[in-house]
Structure 1
Amino acid sequence: MSIFYDQSNHIFHLQSYGMSYAIQVVKDKYLAHLYWGKRLRMGNLDYLLQFAERTSFCANPDPLDPSFSLDTLPQEYPGYGNSDFRVPAFQVQLGDGSTLVDFQYQSYRIFHGKPALEGLPSTYVENDEEATSLEIEFHDPVCGLALLLTYTIYESRNVLTRSARFINNGSDRPKILRALSMNIDFADADFDLLHLEGAWARERQLERRPLFTGSQSIESRRGSSSHQHNPFLALLRKETSEDYGDVFGFNLVYSGSFLGHVEVDQFKTARIAIGINPFDFSWLLEPGQSFQTPEVVMVYSSEGLGGMSRTYHQLYRTRLCRGLYRDQERPILINNWEATYFDFNADKIEKIAKTAGELGIELFVLDDGWFGKRNDDKNSLGDWFVNREKLPGGLEELIARVTRQGLQFGLWFEPEMISPDSELYRAHPDWCLHVEGRPSTLARTQLILD
């Protein structure tokens, strides 16, 4: 077991072979962040959180304790409206229009293994001894909402995963307006921010810049994580290089719109969070239903960016990827797109496959143009039936001709897209993403299926 609970101080200490992560329940209600970094010895970690009266303008939930303020408490999953004026991790609108939800600590559970996230991709374990998980439950006594924070730490990797789940145990019908997957409040802001910006065919360019007072963010509002920004952030100490220094990495396992932000407050502490983009987002949570956020994979490295990169690579290759080729060598393939574009027939494809087989290539993939009336990129997406003018013998004959050359056969298609000039669209124009009565927005002369 690599998660330990200090009952007398209400501290959870999560340990991997080279990393510690510590959190504490404060005043029997609030979950505070204590530490993340190199592995600490077991012992009393209560000294890591010190309270002191900062200014007369920091609100105090307890009037008898001016040293305690949620506006300065380093929190794990903060809300807004109960005196923390920094950017919140979540926001919920209740039936009366108010947006104040006050989650209070209820219970915890520690267990071997790692739970799957319903309906979402996530990292996994093949043996429960690989990881230990912690679930911490919070309730709002007024509205009946519950919050479940899940932490999993891998025994032999400096990796921690986090997610949040909202559960409606009440009779109200609240709307979730903001539901990020994690939040950490660091004790200082002496970091550089690293992220991966880019554009189509120029993805994942490194950009490193110092933190400053105020907010910095990366995001996508495109419905996908996008060429422009990868759902990844890292905080680096100033001296950190490829081979040396502390790195704290955050990667959201999610392919939709996302937000990652860092806020440096008046006391020069840094709050970092990442999750689903709250822009144009709302989720009606009916009584008895729950909402699960995507997983964030957090990596600590004391060996610079190289150490972080290797940890992510090894984890994702073996505990995020699935299927036959996770552990097998993938076949060497050739794709006909640049060779033919839309102008091909069975003879031309067989000739490519024959030459490819002679060169030791193992897999041929037939690209765009084999379906509908697809002789250019302006039509037929959604009409997934063979273009018999181009391939009169159909795919069956073409596959036989390719496999005779000793190659496997693969097929390209784009099931999420639809052309306005297609039989599918003419039959079901309401199947694309659209707003009734408004003109549709096209890109590459195509629409997106809903």
Structure 2
Amino acid sequence: MSLVLVVAVGAGVGLVLRGGGSGGGAAGDGVTDPNTVVVKDEEIAELVEGHSKALASGDAKAFTSIFDQENTALVRGQARVFANLRKMPLAEKSYQVLRRQGRAEDSFGRGVKFTQDVAFVHRFAGIDLRPVAEWYRWTIEKASPHAPLVVTKVAGAPPTISGEESKTMYYPGPWDIWPDIAVVKAGSNLVLARPQDAALARRVAPTVSAAAAGDLAFWRKNGDPNAAVPAGFVVALVKGQAQLGRLFRTAKAEEAGISIGMPSWGVGDDTVKVGGTRVVMDTTTAFFKDDQGILEISEHELAHSLIAGLDSAEFSFLGRSKWIVEGFAEYVAGRDRPITENRRFPEGRAYLQGRLAMPFEGTLPTNALWDFKGMTNTNYFMGHLAMRFIAEKYGERKLVEGVVAAYRASGDDSEAAMFQALGVTKAGFERQWAGYVRAQLA
């Protein structure tokens, strides 16, 4: 079991494509032959703009009219998407043109078929700091020179760069794959669930609300009042890791919960690179056996989401130090309970006693060995103890200052930024921290 934060490397990736364009330049430039089948940028823009207007106005017939009417499953599925999206409290919603690939012109009068990536730009009211985007890949066909464009397939668009964990860009949303959505208010937050889990969502909602209130109170006490932090969160409930890896991403899931950071749409000079997050939690895990466990996982994931908007989103080779990222979330979730009550305490003691795959040598966990031979839970616990030590020695305000400094630095420089904020060297910190760990686990 692990809880991780996923923030796309380079939050601005792909946003330069806003406003349209195709992989091979504007199609149809200089075309005069009436037999030529060509798709112009203006046609794509008109198609996408009409789709936006249909969603905004609540016109289901217009929304589904762009899809292949002979493909009843596709039309029925998009009608379901429309109905689900209409339930979402979105302050902004529109479709925007991204990149195009494939043959969009034919000189011999034959039909053309190509793919067009489209961003669903949206912002949850009172929750997202900025609009964010889910990326679709539409397959579009044009049968003849004067035929309309027809969308024959809808899927998730892949990342623009290789090496991303997810095979799709924030697709699918629950509105894409759930037959219906139970939308439950939880204070300033939303809990989304499949219809059959509506009762569970209603039971979980007060705990999610309490977790959010606790995390936000911690921030108000210790954080910068002018920093970009959300006032609420979106939480989706799923059952099992297969579903966990198939919501707002397409990836292999090994966590119990996740906070997925989504890039701000049209970043430009905006300092907020991560406009919003989507928290997804697996209700089949041990955390959901009781209210205390639900509170713990909620506080942890919402702590990630709380400071996601402060992320620099700069590319880094190894990524932000996990002992800082996970240690902070663990600290926020467990700060009011004795360390001996932590579910990972026995593993921490076994680590200190040399009974695990690696011996305790008084050094902080590294990203490279974070998941080495079953050490993941232990490394979470060590990160937690690092944050407890900082809070006790320097105070919670200095802890928050150090974490924020680490987030605002590039991932590779995050650890150095933390120690600079604390005014200590890494070697000096580890010496003191190692003594603290031994005292806590004795």
TM-score, with structure 1 as normaliser: 0.24
RCO greater where, 1 or 2, for CA within 8 Å and sep 6 or more? 2
TM-score, with structure 2 as normaliser: 0.24
The higher radius of gyration belongs to 1
The structure with the greater share of residues assigned to strand is 1
